[in-house]
Amino acid sequence: MQDTPIYEVVIGLEIHAQLATQSKLFCGDSNLFGGEANTRVSAISLAHPGTLPRTNKKAVELAVKLGLACECDIEQNNYFARKNYFYPDLPKGYQISQHTSPICKGGNVRITTTAGSRAVRLNRIHLEEDAGKSLHDQHPTKTFIDLNRAGTPLVEIVTEPDMYSAEEAGQFVAEIRKLVRWLGVSDGNMEEGSLRCDANISLRPAGSQTLGTKVEVKNLNSIRHIKKAIEYEISRITALLLQGQPIIQQTRSFDADNDTTFALRDKEEANDYRYFPDPDLAPFVISAEALESYKASLPELPNALHQRLLQMEELTEYDAQQLSDDLHTAQYFEEVSLYTSNKKSIANWILGPLRQWLNDHQLNFSQVPVSPANLAQMIDMIESGELSFSTAVSRLLPALIKEKKSPRELAETLNILQTANESLLAEWIQEVMNKMPDKVQEYRKGKKGLLGLFIGEIKKISGGKADPQKVTQLLQEKLNQP
């Protein structure tokens, strides 16, 4: 029996996603990850006096698309503000961000957990630039600065305190990652820091409506770390509360070596960043036409696709969920569907042998080496009994991957086509029956289990080319007429 928990956890997330633009947010420097240190740094990234930033339109477009996909209200009249603070990797002494009026307001993201499906409310999504990086591991006593990342475009997605377990928070980040990739807003790569998360966590007596004092665990860069950090905080704060100790509002960091967190600093009061509108940047307006065109360019979203796939009778919940998990997989499924109506077989091939092959070669579904038309033809050949599924997987698929020929041509060359040709099948059946007359006797006396033995023999002498369905039918007819 499980005790009713005394405390309930409440979680709000702040997720930074690096936008998939070519250039930085306010200048033409490359926005690629990494590179030799300090090679993607024009005078603007370096904050030389007299340089002027200009807003990257593509970044604005990507932020709006994400907002639309999350059902946010889009702010058409925007401005950038300076958030002033000192940090060695922040050459300007301020970060350009948005302040009182984010580009996307409200909205929600639907998550599905073991407890069911529900919408998590967003507070806002805003645009801002990233800072550079301090490198502490290059020299025993010195810290180095790499400004390649300075000025790269980010969206910050801020949720309401609206998640109630580590599982929900992990699922939320998984949904965001799926969505930004789906929309081409970000590559969502957590190992490279393109997607990173701060988790705000508090506990309150179960059933209470007021929020407890929160701690913030910074810079979590995997879903596993997010869940582990939350689980650790739940047990740490529960222990403090049970001892009657006060909870201090803190900023903490995750230690991946032992799945714990440690305090970075206490947050006594709100920071004063002296925000003010950036005088070097004109306000940017999203026109009604631009907004309409962004709306029109949105692809079908994963949830809508998931629902549509569920309507297809042949497909299971698992199929629908897996096929709508990433845009390339979904697109490949749709393309193959143009050539064959055999939806279940398409799903089986995609989620089985093809995905296996792509995983083994570290590729994704934008790089499938089998054209949709060829996969469809192979599926139809199996369906019509010309080819067995196992032979298709073991022999035809590798050939299709290697050679740019049609499945039919290759199957002929490989001599693996099954035959439903009745006179040929009858010959093989006769041959096997002649070979084992006693077994035929036994079968006729009632030992029906011998059927499999005959079929196995026919398969052998036909070199796997006898259509098993047709063979079974003809063989039974033959055996049943003495």
Residues that bind ligand ADP (CB under 6 A): 10-14, 158-161, 200-202, 211-212, 214
Distance in Å, CB of 210 to ligand ADP, minimum: 9
Query: Which residue's CB is nearer to ligand ADP, number 59 or number 157?
Result: 157
The residue whose Cβ lies closest to ligand ADP is 12
SS3 sequence of 105-128:
ECCEEEEEECCEEEEEEEEEEEEE
What is the 8-class DSSP label of residue 87? -
Nearer to ligand ADP, 211 or 242 (CB): 211
What residue has token string 């997720």? 15
Q: Which of 271, 251, 221, 218 is nearest to 97 (CA)?
A: 271
DSSP at 141: S
Provide, rounded to whole angstroms, the least separation between the CB of residue 233 and ligand ADP.
10
Nearer to ligand ADP, 212 or 407 (CB): 212
Number of Cα atoms under 13 Å in the Cβ half of residue 52: 5
Find the shortest distance in angstroms from Cβ 274 to ligand ADP.
Answer: 16
Which CB atom, from 131 or from 387, has the smaller least distance to ligand ADP?
A: 131
State which residue, 273 or 284, has the beta carbon closest to ligand ADP: 273
Q: Closest distance between ligand ADP and the C-beta of residue 73, in Å?
A: 18
Pick between residue 159 and residue 377 the one whose CB is nearest to ligand ADP.
159
Q: How far is the CB of 25 from ligand ADP (least distance, A)?
A: 21
Nearer to ligand ADP, 159 or 418 (CB): 159
Residue 45 or 202 having the CB closest to ligand ADP: 202
Query: 300 in helix, strand or coil?
Result: coil
Helix 468-480 and helix 451-461, axial crossing angle in degrees, nearest 10:
130
DSSP assignment of 363-403, as one string? --GGG-SS-HHHHHHHHHHHHTTSS-HHHIIIIIHHHHHHS
* One-letter identity of residue 312: M
CB of 251 to ligand ADP, least distance (A): 9
Question: Do residues 300 and 114 touch, judged by C-beta distance below 8 A?
Answer: no
Cα(7)–Cα(351) distance, integer angstroms? 41
- To ligand ADP, the closest distance from the beta carbon of 201 in angstroms equals 6
CB atoms within 10 A of CB 293: 11
Gyration radius of the chain's alpha carbons: 31
82 or 214: whose CB is closer to ligand ADP?
Answer: 214
Q: Is 445 helix (H, G, I), strand (E, B) or coil?
A: coil
Nearest-angstrom CA–CA distance, 151 and 54? 11
Q: What three-state secondary structure class fits 49?
A: coil
- Please, what is the minimum distance in Å from the beta carbon of residue 161 to ligand ADP? 4
**Minimum distance between the CB of residue 169 and ligand ADP, rounded to whole angstroms?**
10
Residues 6+ apart with CB under 8 A from 11: 161, 162, 163, 164, 165, 168, 169, 199, 200, 201, 230
